[in-house]
Amino acid sequence: MSEDLPILACRDMSCQISARPKALDVLQNIDFTVARHTALGIVGESGAGKSMLVKSIMGIAPASVRVNGQIMLDGQDLFAMKPRDRARFIGRKVGIVFQNPMTSLNPYVPVGRQIAEACRQHFDVPRDEARQRAIELLRTVGIADPEDCYDYYPHHFSGGMKQRIMIAASLICHPDLLIADEATTALDVTVQKEVLDLLQTIQEQRQMSMILVSHNLGVVAGRTDEILVLYGGHVVEYGPTSEVFRNPRHRYTEALLSAMPHMDQPTHTRLRTIAGQPPSLANKPAGCPFAPRCGAAEGPCHTTMPDMRTGTDSRHRFACHFPLEQTVGPAVVSGATDRGARAQ
C-alpha cells in the first residue's frame, strides 16, 4: 500500500436510526481522514455521536442504524465488500480498545486466549506461536509475569490491568490503526495517564495511526496531530491539534476550551460552563446544532446549517456562520499542546 494513502477516510458519512415517527440522524456529513502514523482526536460531549462514529467504522453499529456515505480503510471501500469479508478486513487492520475494561473482557475465557484468538483466526497462527505473541504483548503493555498471566481470568486483574490487556489484544494482528474509544474514561486519574502514555508510546513505536476518542480535551491535547470536534452529530471544527487549541474558530470549541481549568488561573475561580443542554436526537435545531446555546447566534444560525469553512491554515476547517476571529498567527507560538513540543 502506498504510504501517502490515508489509512482511514470517511467521506460524507451519515448514520440514521430507523425509528418512529421519523428516522433520527445521529451523524451527518462526517468528513475526515487519518493519515498514516498520525493520531486523530475525536472530541465531543455525551450524545455527540462519538461512539456511533466508532461503531459505524468498525461495522458493529446496531442493526437499527443505517450507515451511509463512504468509508475507505487502507484504500479499500468498506461498503463495497461482503459483510463477512468486511468484518475480517477491519479486524485485521484496526485494533480497538473500548471504554469499559470491566465488561470488555469475557469473564469466562482466560485473558491470554482472548488476546491470541484474533491472530489464530485471521492468520492461522499456530497455537504455540499465538501464545508466544500474546505473552510478548502482555510484556509490552507492562503486565508482570506474562507467562503466568496468560492463563488467568479477567477477574484476577484490576481495571487498569484489564485495559492494558485490552490494548495487548488490540495489537495482536499488527493493526495499522488503533482506535481508543474513551479508553481511559472508566479508569481512575493516575491510571488514566499511564494508559494514555502507553497508548501513545505504542502508537509511535509501532508506527501506527491512532484515533483517540474522548469527551475530555485534556486527553487528546499533546497526544494527537489533528482534532475533530463533534457536536450534535456534526463535525463543527477539524484541524491540527495545536492550531485548534491555540486558535479555536468555532464558538463551541472555544467554549469547551475555556471550560478547562488552567494552571495560571487564580485558585477558587469558577470555571466557565456552557449553558443549556446538547440537542436531543428527536428535535434537532434546523440550523447550527449549537445555535440554542451560542452567545453569538443570529438569524441564519437558527435556520441554516453553516458550511465548512477553511481558516488561514488550509487544514483548519470549521462550520460556523460567525466564526471567532483568527487571533494568533498560525504555528508561530510553540504551544504546549503541540505534539512535537511535547516530544522534545
C-alpha cell of residue 120? 489464530
Nearer to another protein, 51 or 242 (CB): 51
Evaluated on CA atoms 253, 223, 313, 46, the torsion sign reads negative
Q: Quick one: which H or E segment has residue 148?
A: helix 146-149
Residue that has been written with the C-alpha cell 469547551 in this structure: 256
CB of 165 to another protein, least distance (A): 11
* Those residues with Cβ within 8 angstroms of residue 267's Cβ, 6 or more apart along the chain or in another chain: none
Kindly tell me which residue out of 117, 194, 204, 313 binds another protein, with binding defined by CB under 8 A: 117
Q: Peptide bond before 146: cis, by omega within 30 degrees of 0?
A: no
139-158: contacts with another protein (CB under 8 A):
153, 155
Nearer to another protein, 56 or 242 (CB): 56
Cβ proximity to another protein, 100 vs 132, nearer residue: 100
Region label for 252, one of left (φ > 0), alpha (ψ between -120 and 50) or beta (otherwise): alpha
Element (H, E) at 73: strand 65-73
- By beta-carbon proximity to another protein, the closer residue of 4 and 124 is 124
Look at residue 278 and give its three-state secondary structure: coil
91 is a site residue for another protein (CB under 8 A):
yes
Considering only the stretches 117-125, 134-142, 197-205, 224-232, report the one whose residues sit in contact with another protein under the rule CB under 8 A. Answer: 117-125
Q: Verify binding: residue 227, another protein, rule CB under 8 A.
A: no
The correct pick among 1, 23, 60, 271 for binding another protein (CB under 8 A) is: 60
- List contacts with another protein (CB under 8 A): 58-60, 84, 87-92, 94, 96, 98, 100, 103-109, 117-118, 121-122, 153, 155, 166, 169-170
